[in-house]
Chain A
Amino acid sequence: MTTDTIRDSRTPLLRLTNLTKYFPQFRQTLVKRPDKPIRAVDGVSFELHAGETIGLVGESGCGKSTVGRTMLRLLEPTAGTIEFEGRDITGIGGSELRILRREMQMVFQDPFGSLNPRQTIGSIIAAPFEIQGITPEGGRRKAVQQLMERVGLNPEHYNRYPHEFSGGQRQRIGVARAVALKPKLVVCDEPVSALDVSIQAQVINLLEDIQNDQGLSYVFIAHDLSVVRHISDRVVVMYLGKVMEEAERDELYERPLHPYTHALLSAVPIPDPEKGERRPRILLKGDLPSPQNPPSGCVFRTRCPRAEQRCADEVPLPLEVTPGHRVACHFPEERTIL
């Protein structure tokens, strides 16, 4: 399949081409037999430039977290390529991969599960230095304390354990660990969804400050479309392992083209009772189909209010409607939802 996308003059920091991840399944009968695989990610392509934030949204099971983990090579892609700074990193391994990990890090959703309860936070934040065998100027301890200060933790708490911190503070520890080696790319997988609103805003501001200081890029995975609108430069909407729509932030929220994006945006309750009553409400029928047995043609057609016969027969290819705005739909339609 060839797509003649307009190549930006700069080499993107990250380019995913047709990234695919299937999880093999087995039927346990007398003998273990292979079953249809789960198509968690099915041909996802997008680019991310230096200093930019791309938001990856969709409902649970749409494959957004799998994209995040696969692009970091925490999972092995089934097909497709991952390029980092123009270099194909899909097949690299061993020490090459370990050195690359200095450049790409991750912040996890669960501030409880992602920190080892038996390690002091000093040693948790120092782990990247240790694994990479790096001794920063002035020693690891000093570097860790500077990081703690940077993310708004008291450096004197170096020897405390994760359980002594609140959810928001733990997420700050996770951020400190992720940015310790000054990576170029950080994948944030639902970094604020476990936090209270007031704390959520503190962590979002912190992520933005660090981005401004260090010029790093984020892949921001979240189901909360309000948070994504705030933090992203571009947004990718996923459904059942595929990209439905991709556009600049305000373009996507103000002129969404895909019926799934319409439904998603209209479903979010907004804290404005009068405006909430006026806007269109699109209720989707039924549940997400199984990624083991995705519908033929367009994967969204079973729940799409506009579906026709063509949608069952033909897979819609991503079409660049206006520069930078791609949509995979046979019947895209501009609608004002918000």
Chain B
Amino acid sequence: MSERPFLDVRDLKVHFRTDDGLVKAVDGLTFRLERGQTIGIVGESGSGKSVTSQGILGLHRHTRAEASGEIWLDGEDLMTVSDERLRQLRGNKIAMIFQDPLSALHPYYTIGSQIVEAIRVHHRDTSKSAAKARAVDLLGHVGIPHPARRVDQYPHEFSGGMRQRAMIAMALANDPSLLIADEPTTALDVTVQAQILDLMRKLQEEFGSAIIMITHDLGVVAEMANEILVMYAGKAVEHGPVHDVFYEPEHPYTWGLLTSMPRLDRARLARLNPVPGNPPSLINVPPGCAFHPRCGYTGEVEGARCRSVVPDLAPAGPEHLARCHIDDARRAQLYATDVKPRL
């Protein structure tokens, strides 16, 4: 194999033209991912994390969305491959786990027949009975009790956690090497979430898939990912190994996310330190650094650069990138003196 990483996303842009103006939902995202690794994409609603996953699956083709950039998966650029090839890849080499299993599963068909379909779409020579046997296997594998009986049941007969397992089983039907999980546990209770995350970790060890984990929950990322990409208003503002981003975060927005979270594992702080204001509308993204209206450190930068110049995503450590005008040394100092004591 060549030197290329398994997944190489370069300058991905997904823009939507609307009557109110151009919505830059994803605006120049670059990251790489190797087999067996997990990247966590974190951000608040409207930061572009879900559009990123849809973009990788090519779901914006033949829509009014304008997508550009390169998505190299195992030597193929998903942006330029034919529709037919993309169809072959989806649900096969690339699989997706959605947030809401109830709307992602068809209510009229049994769980089993939906998994059988997922298998037979890509492997026409597999007989129905063989595919069904595989479906029973898969359901057992994701921890559904009595899979031989459950396979003939409908989604409404499954609990939330069981539906999510069934969806994971369907996603795994064709041994995908890239798994995109968009808020896979957000709708679930914590004990069920722990079961599902544990299952995903085990399956990753077993199959060596690469996982893109999209979530707003920093705890989930801390537990699952090797690498984190923090998004704000369609752009990456910080990107680095999990350890670096949690213990030496570089961007004021990441600081804000960390200080605004109440912590389970520490005695209570007198007061939470929320990021002031609201996330911006993607139609009217603030000029310069999109985060500047909510940032408490714009005074650290000469002139009005935060308000006029978009900062570059620049190296802040060996593998650590941050999009901020404040220089590195000063940022480290600010974090140590002003942010860390409030965590």
Binding site for B on A (CB under 8 A): 59-60, 166, 168-169, 196-202, 204-205, 208, 223, 225-227, 229-231, 249-250, 253, 263-276, 281, 283-284, 286-288, 338
Contact = CB atoms under 8 A, between A and B. Distances in A.
B195 A284 contact: yes
Interface stretch (B59-67, B149-157, B217-225, B323-331): B217-225
Nearest to A202: B274
A273 B195 contact: no
B264 A201 contact: no
B39 to A, nearest CB: 14
Given A197-B44, A197-B260, A287 B265 contact: no
A287 B267 CA distance: 31
A111 to B, nearest CB: 13
Given A226-B262, A287-B159, A276 B223 contact: yes
A271 B218 contact: yes
Contact of B190 (A200, A231, A268): A268
B45 A60 contact: no
Contact of B274 (A205, A229, A276): A205
Contacts of B276: 202
Given A225-B264, A338-B264, 15 more contacts: A196-B45, A197-B257, A201-B261, A201-B274, A226-B261, A226-B263, A230-B272, A250-B268, A253-B264, A268-B190, A270-B219, A270-B263, A270-B265, A287-B162, A287-B192
Contacts of A276: 219, 222-223
B198 interface: yes
B2 interface: no
B268 A229 contact: yes
A198 B257 contact: yes
6 contacts: A196-B216, A201-B260, A201-B272, A223-B190, A250-B268, A287-B159
Contacts of B216: 196-197
Contact of B262 (A204, A266, A267): A204
Interface string B250-280: 0000001110111111011101111110110
Contacts of A223: 189-190
B133 interface: no
A229 B278 CA distance: 25
B246 interface: yes
Contacts of A288: 159
Contacts of B44: 196-198
B269 A269 contact: no
Contact of B267 (A199, A205, A250): A250
A226 B84 CA distance: 47
A196 B183 CA distance: 13
B297 to A, nearest CB: 16
Secondary structure of the A contact surface, majority rule: helix
B219 A271 contact: yes
Contact of A273 (B190, B242, B260, B261): B242
Contacts of B257: 197-198
A230 B268 contact: yes
Nearest to A225: B264
Contacts of A272: 222, 246, 265
Contacts of A284: 191, 194-195
B174 interface: no
Contact of B220 (A169, A199, A269): A269
B210 to A, nearest CB: 19
A197 B257 CA distance: 7
B260 A200 contact: yes
B197 interface: yes
Interface in B190-227: 190-195, 197-198, 216-223
Given A271-B222, A273-B243, A284-B191, A229 B263 contact: yes
Contacts of A286: 145
B161 interface: yes
Given A229-B262, A263-B191, A198 B267 contact: no
Contacts of A275: 265
Given A196-B216, A264-B191, A272-B246, A229 B272 contact: no
Looking at A225, A266, A287, the one whose CB has the most chain B CB atoms below 10 A away is A287
A168 B219 contact: no
A263 B191 CA distance: 7
A254 to B, nearest CB: 8
Nearest to A233: B268
Contacts of B194: 266-267, 269, 281, 283-284
Interface in B263-322: 263-265, 267-269, 271-276, 278-279
